[in-house]
């Protein structure tokens, strides 16, 4: 029986990202700048809405103050909400383009591409973006269905009174719900690396390809997230020093905001790269063993 080598894939992912750090820096520079610019413009638009709405700001507003006010404004103003969704959409597209390019770099290392060729929005990236949106939609639907199911179970448990300790059982039910959501999504994620390199694999194929490996994929996702978090912290320290120096040399709200968004975008890309690499190696593993078995739950 096949077993996905979760730990080995995670170690290989970290080693691969480090070994290919030169390509990573070249390939990620433009997406990081694009994400930072996108976020900066969004925040400026939110600030503009705050002033148009005549919202009173503190004498020395922090980024946290502005962020809280902007969130409130988005909830109360449909125009601000639409703008926020638009910029989130743009950020999602940029992240998808980079992820597809890095998938290709990992799965087809011998096909040398320039940065321009790698990041060019082509047919493969169009399919990648559409599949990405589809997976997000599936995650939302699964989350909704799981929440409804948990609500029904909790209501039933309440009718039993003290027979079942709801405060003890409910956290485990919620955890199980999140595991179920992750299980469904992870079984379908092989379509992403496949799309990046032009392989014709649909959601059903991905489900069959990952037969019996759902929980291991969930475990890999958890480990990859933890690893990415550690990597992001390690990267954040030198970036924080850069932010501090720039804020002294070139003080100014706009400059500070853009530099901050550069740092946050770089951290996001670092985390995404670890996960994308792990996902690429999983797909490579499944392809190599020719795992295409009948559909199972």
Q: What percent of the chain has pLDDT over 70?
A: 74
Report pLDDT digits (tens) over 121-133: 999 999 999 999 9
- Cα 195 to Cα 103: distance, rounded to the nearest angstrom: 9
Between 100-109, 116-125, 130-139, 145-154, the lowest mean confidence (pLDDT) is in 145-154
- Supply 80's token pair: 């601000």
What's the whole-number average pLDDT of the chain?
81
Return the higher-pLDDT residue of 115 and 46. Answer: 115
Residue 247 neighbours by CB under 8 Å, 6+ apart: 255, 256, 259
Between 11-15, 19-23, 166-170, 259-263, the lowest mean confidence (pLDDT) is in 166-170
pLDDT for residue 291 is more than 50: no
- The whole-number pLDDT of residue 127 equals 94
Q: How confident is the model at residue 42 (pLDDT cuts 50, 70, 90)?
A: confident
pLDDT for residue 136 is more than 80: yes
- The whole-number pLDDT of residue 104 equals 94
The DSSP line for 178-237 is HHHHHHHHHHHTTHHHHHHTT----HHHHHHHTTT-HHHHHHHHHHHHHHHHHHHHHHHH
Report pLDDT digits (tens) over 72-115: 665 666 666 677 788 889 999 999 999 999 999 999 988 878 89
- Cα 57 to Cα 267: distance, rounded to the nearest angstrom: 29
pLDDT for residue 225 is more than 90: no
Q: How confident is the model at residue 295 (pLDDT cuts 50, 70, 90)?
A: very low
Classify residue 286 as exposed, middle or buried by CB count within 10 Å of its CB (0-12, 13-18, 19+): buried
- Cα 202 to Cα 53: distance, rounded to the nearest angstrom: 47
């Amino acid at each position: 029986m096949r077993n996905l080598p979760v730990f080995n894939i995670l170690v290989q992912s970290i080693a691969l990202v480090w070994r290919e750090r030169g390509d990573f820096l070249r390939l990620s520079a433009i997406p990081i700048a694009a994400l930072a610019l996108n976020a900066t413009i969004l925040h400026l638009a939110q600030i503009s809405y705050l002033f148009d709405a005549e919202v009173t700001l503190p004498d020395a507003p922090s980024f946290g103050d502005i962020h809280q006010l902007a969130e409130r404004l988005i909830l109360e103003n449909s125009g601000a909400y639409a703008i926020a969704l638009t910029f989130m959409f743009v950020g999602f597209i940029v992240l998808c383009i980079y992820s597809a390019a890095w998938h290709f770099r990992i799965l087809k290392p011998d096909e040398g591409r320039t940065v321009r060729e790698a990041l060019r929005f082509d047919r493969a990236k169009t399919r990648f973006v559409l599949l990405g949106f589809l997976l997000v939609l599936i995650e939302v639907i699964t989350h909704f269905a799981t929440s409804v199911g948990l609500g029904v179970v909790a209501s039933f448990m309440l009718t039993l009174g003290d027979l079942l300790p709801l405060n003890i059982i409910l956290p485990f039910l919620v955890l199980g719900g999140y595991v179920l959501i992750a299980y469904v999504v992870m079984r379908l994620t092989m379509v992403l690396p496949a799309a990046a390199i032009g392989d014709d694999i649909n959601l059903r194929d991905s489900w069959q390809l990952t037969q019996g490996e759902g929980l291991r994929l969930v475990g890999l996702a958890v480990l990859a997230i933890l690893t990415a978090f550690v990597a992001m912290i390690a990267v954040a320290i030198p970036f924080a020093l850069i932010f501090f120096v720039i804020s002294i040399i070139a003080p100014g709200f706009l400059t500070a905001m853009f530099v901050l968004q550069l740092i946050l975008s770089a951290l996001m890309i670092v985390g995404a790269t670890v996960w994308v690499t792990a996902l690429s190696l999983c797909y490579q593993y499944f392809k190599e063993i020719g795992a295409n078995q009948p559909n199972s739950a």
